[in-house]
């Protein structure tokens, strides 16, 4: 593998201003890609930090549940860097959730989780397709979750949303192959991102069981996901589509 396997490629990372998204954007940029970081806030500051390290990055403020905002993200990639080759659908709702029994989850929270985690992913996938066709193909990496396979309790709306992302990945792979757009998913385990660390109730309920069930008995951090995402985005995954790779330290064998 070359030192810069993504040289000449342009990537859009949603939820890219902090935590897992920023780690992924940084990893892609360090492998040669020019990166657009999109987020509700902090995107330009995060991009400026990457530029300060000599990396190619731009920030865009936007909401993945808005068609207009998604269009602006794609337009920014083409305006700043000449095109778009890679989409990482990382934006999602998790770190702010409080685990609750199924019957205590209210309808408004269900709708918001599905709107961001599922509809947002749909809108971004649809939004990048014309730009990727103009480049002769592309890569989409959807961030799902290991909970889609384990069915974790007290987070039914989140589990359902990430199960939908896995299924959407498979469906899109069958349709987008004709356009040379490969669609795969990475499913993290419980990750100590910056936002998760700000939710002590979530940590209290999830961290210890996660550690107990892992073959690799340590906390998972955002950098643990970088290799898998960059693999799907890079040349070594040129004949892989419709797949989900679970990255959780061996808690679930998929």
Residues tagged active-site: 158
Token look-up 């897992």 returns: 20
Q: Which two tokens stand for residue 46?
A: 């995060």
Q: Which helix (H) or strand (E) holds 20?
A: helix 19-30
Distances (CA, A) of 143 to 38, 53, 58, 119, 252: 15, 26, 21, 14, 16
C-alpha span between 238 and 199 (Å, rounded)? 38
DSSP annotation string for 76-128: HHHHHHS---EEEE-----TT-----GGG--HHHHHHHHIIIIIHHHHHHHHH
């Amino acid at each position: 593998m070359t030192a810069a396997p993504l040289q000449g490629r342009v990537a859009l990372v949603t939820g890219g201003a902090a935590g897992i998204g920023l780690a992924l954007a940084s990893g892609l940029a360090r492998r040669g890609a020019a990166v657009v970081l999109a987020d509700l806030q902090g995107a330009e500051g995060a991009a400026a930090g990457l530029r300060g390290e000599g990396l190619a990055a731009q920030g865009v403020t936007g909401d993945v549940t808005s068609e207009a905002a998604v269009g602006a993200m794609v337009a920014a990639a083409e305006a700043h860097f000449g095109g778009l080759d890679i989409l990482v659908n990382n934006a999602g709702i998790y770190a702010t959730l409080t685990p609750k029994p199924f019957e205590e989850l209210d309808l408004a929270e269900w709708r918001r989780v599905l709107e961001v985690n599922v509809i947002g992913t749909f809108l971004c996938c649809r939004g990048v397709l014309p730009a990727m066709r103009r480049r002769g193909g592309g890569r989409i990496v959807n961030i799902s979750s290991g909970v889609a396979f384990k069915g974790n309790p007290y987070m039914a709306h989140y589990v359902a949303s990430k199960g939908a992302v896995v299924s959407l990945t498979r469906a899109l792979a069958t349709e987008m192959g004709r356009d040379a757009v490969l669609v795969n998913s990475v499913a993290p385990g419980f990750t100590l991102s910056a936002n998760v660390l700000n939710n002590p109730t979530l940590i209290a309920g999830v961290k210890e069981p996660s550690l107990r069930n892992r073959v690799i008995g340590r906390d998972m951090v955002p950098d643990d996901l970088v290799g898998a995402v960059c693999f799907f985005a890079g040349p070594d995954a040129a004949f892989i589509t419709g797949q989900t790779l679970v990255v959780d330290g061996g808690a679930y064998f998929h």
